[in-house]
């Protein structure tokens, strides 16, 4: 497991290894108040093109909990791909660091960092996928329900990078997945085809359409995300015209199972894609989900950066 670039790169068994490692580290800290310093002497570089509260803080704190250190590199400092080429940045940082976490626009920048660098690279987000978020989400679902296989995850909104990673991880781990989006904002065709092929192996369903009520019917988890992500500001006015029917509100949530939970990767534009009474209501998992970014990413860090003696 040299890199963590995309959910599609891993088998179900490998994904469960990350999840079990995350649980072990969360339980260890809850029980003893600390984690063993398995990353003592290690330094992770945090390379940002897009700012983020959760990504930066969870990776910095995760490294500290595990005995290592993190170095924040702002968009202005690096200007990845403009001030300096991605291959050059990868080679230079590999000489200083033990690992690189990058949060970028273009997924190709992630792939170049991994190809030209000589240390593990973690995809903290790209326009194509958000594997760290998906792993934390599945960890949260597993923690809440005590299982993953056989549950139904419904995503309402844009078929974006988060939806892409969730569709793939759901199919790999045996969860039913449905998505409702406005016409023109569906999952990419190649992602849908991959998810459906994986779902045949795990005997679950992957369904897509435009009706949010149909998508959430019988769902255990109802998930949404912002209607316009960073880099899509020019599309915001148009998106605000077509996305309101896909708002996650109490009326829509009532079509899911009675014990269904609401999820959102944050930050939330309250009053747009999600209402306050859902985000703050009894069915909300938004903030346990946000906390679990820390624990899931500690699982990734442990398996990528710790010594070979770490328990598998």
Nearest to 222 by CA among 189, 185, 260, 249: 260
Q: Is residue 91 among the annotated active site residues?
A: no
Out of 21, 49, 133, 289, the active site residue is 133
Q: DSSP code of 282?
A: T
Strands (DSSP E) contained in 200-299 are 206-209, 221-224, 261-264
Q: Are 60 and 70 in contact (CB under 8 A)?
A: yes
- CB-CB contact of 44 with 100 (8 Å): yes
Contact between 170 and 220 (Cβ < 8 Å): no
103 in catalytic set: yes
CB atoms near residue 199 (< 10 Å):
22
Using the structure block, give the residue that is written with the tokens 């590999």: 94
Q: How far apart are the first and last CA of the chain?
A: 12
Q: Is 225 a catalytic residue?
A: yes
Instruction: Select which of 265, 289, 295, 297 is catalytic.
Output: 265
Distance separating alpha carbons of residues 119 and 309, to the nearest angstrom: 18
Catalytic annotation present for 130: yes
Angle between helices 189-202 and 161-173 (to 10 degrees): 20
User: What is the signed CA dihedral for 109, 111, 117, 122, rounded to 10 degrees?
Assistant: 90
Give the other-Cβ count within 10 Å of 8's Cβ.
17
Is 269 marked active-site? Answer: no
DSSP state letter for 125: E
The counts of H helices and E strands in the chain are 13, 9
Catalytic residue among 54, 103, 176, 239: 103
Catalytic residue among 127, 225, 247, 295: 225
Task: Locate 15 and state its tokens.
Answer: 């994904």
Spatial CB neighbours of 50, under 8 Å, sequence gap ≥ 6: 75, 103, 104, 105, 125, 230, 231
Tokens read off for 282 = 């009894």
Which residue of the set 3, 56, 65, 130 is catalytic? 130
> Is 115 tagged catalytic?
no
* Catalytic residue annotation: 103, 130, 133, 225, 265, 293
């Amino acid at each position: 497991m040299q890199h963590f670039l995309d959910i599609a790169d891993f088998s179900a068994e490998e994904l469960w290894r990350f999840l079990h490692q995350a649980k072990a580290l969360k339980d260890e800290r809850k029980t003893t108040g600390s984690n063993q310093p398995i990353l003592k002497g290690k330094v992770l570089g945090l390379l940002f093109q897009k700012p983020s509260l959760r990504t930066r803080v969870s990776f910095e704190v995760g490294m500290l909990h595990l005995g290592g250190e993190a170095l924040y590199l702002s968009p202005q400092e690096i200007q990845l791909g403009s001030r300096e080429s991605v291959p050059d940045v990868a080679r230079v940082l590999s000489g200083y660091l033990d690992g690189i976490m990058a949060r970028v626009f273009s997924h190709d920048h992630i792939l170049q960092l991994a190809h030209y660098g000589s240390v593990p690279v973690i995809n903290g987000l790209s326009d194509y996928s958000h594997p760290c978020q998906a792993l934390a989400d599945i960890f949260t679902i597993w923690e809440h329900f005590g299982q993953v296989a056989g549950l139904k995850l419904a995503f309402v909104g844009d078929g974006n990078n988060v939806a892409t990673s969730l569709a793939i991880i759901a199919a790999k781990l045996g969860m039913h997945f449905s998505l409702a989006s406005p016409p023109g904002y569906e999952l990419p065709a190649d992602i849908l085809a991959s998810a459906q092929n994986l779902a045949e192996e795990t005997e679950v369903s992957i369904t897509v359409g435009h009706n949010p009520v149909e998508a959430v019917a019988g769902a255990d988890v109802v998930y949404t995300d912002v209607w316009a992500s960073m880099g899509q500001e020019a599309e915001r006015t148009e998106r605000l015209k077509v996305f309101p029917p896909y708002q996650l509100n109490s009326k829509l949530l009532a079509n899911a199972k009675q014990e269904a939970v609401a999820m959102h990767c944050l930050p939330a534009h309250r009053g747009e894609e999600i209402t306050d009474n859902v985000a703050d209501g009894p069915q909300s998992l938004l903030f346990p989900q946000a906390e679990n970014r820390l624990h899931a990413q500690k699982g990734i860090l442990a398996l990528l950066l710790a010594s070979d003696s770490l328990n598998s």
